[in-house]
Structure 1
Amino acid sequence: MTSIRRGMPMTTKRLEELAREGFSFALWLAAVMLNMASVLWLGFQGLQWLHDGHWTKQPPVMAWVHGVCPGACDFVTNPHSWYGVAKLVRFLYDVPSGLALALIGIALGVLSVSVSDRRPLAPSVTKVRIGAF
């Protein structure tokens, strides 16, 4: 029986496990939604290609970002900003939206698996056997 049924208070370890499971589930759910959106996006584009006979170019991710926050995101295109951010923005200008959704979904899925990992830690070795060799 669990400690809730016996009327005992929950321990911090159990609260940590519940928080980890909840966070892992939220990450997994976000990953599934992003991957489904990318598959639907690419599927719609494929159906359009079958109907029209030409492949329409997807807008890059930065087109969506500038649509969400047009004035607040001007710092991203500043050439004097941090070098890593400038490289990321340059990458996002070239990546189609469907591929970006899939990459982010896969990354969130991997992160969800690593958060929900319940394997025990390896025991630390304190004594060394001399006669083992």
Structure 2
Amino acid sequence: MGKAQLEHAMRGALGWVLWLIGVSLNVVAICWLGFQTLRWLQTGNWMNQPTLFSWVGEVCPGACTFATNPHSWFGAAKLIRLLQEIPSGLALAIVGFAFAILSVSVTDNRPEPPPVRKPRTLPSF
């Protein structure tokens, strides 16, 4: 197997894995929204989704206290504010779409365009 064939096979495998992750995350987000909709139909109350930051805060409390420090990097503070407000179902969908788009860009195997060999000519007016 040549180097080009091995690279093509690896790109295909990586693209397939990224696509599978993206589809799985989107299915989980749809199921989460479906569960909330069914619960809303049953009880009549829309249950607020926990924010993504509540899930991340349980996993890495040390890193989260650093990120919520007001003297930390400004971009991190904006990211944490977004994570505190975004519902986890929407976050799963966004990450799923990002993985799906990444899988398409990884598996793109269009050939490079051939080089242009014509000499440039000056425009005539």
TM-score by length of 1: 0.84
Shift of 1:36: 0.3
Q: Percent identity?
A: 52
Shift of 1:129: 5.9
3-state SS of 1:128 partner: coil
For 1:26, give the aligned amino acid: V
Aligned to 2:20: 29
Structure 2: gaps (5+ residues): none
Shift of 1:82: 2.4
Aligned to 2:82: 91
| Counterpart check, 1:51 vs 2:42 | yes
Aligned to 1:7: none
Structure 1: gaps (5+ residues): 1-9
| Counterpart check, 1:114 vs 2:105 | yes
- Go from structure 1 to structure 2 and tell me whether the alpha carbon gap of 1:132 and 1:67 turns closer, same or farther (over 3 Å shift): same
Shift of 1:131: 9.8
| Counterpart check, 1:70 vs 2:61 | yes
Aligned to 1:17: 8
3-state SS of 1:73 partner: helix
Q: Distance in 1 between matches of 2:42 and 2:103?
A: 38
- State how many pairs are aligned: 124
TM-score by length of 2: 0.89
Shift of 1:81: 2.5
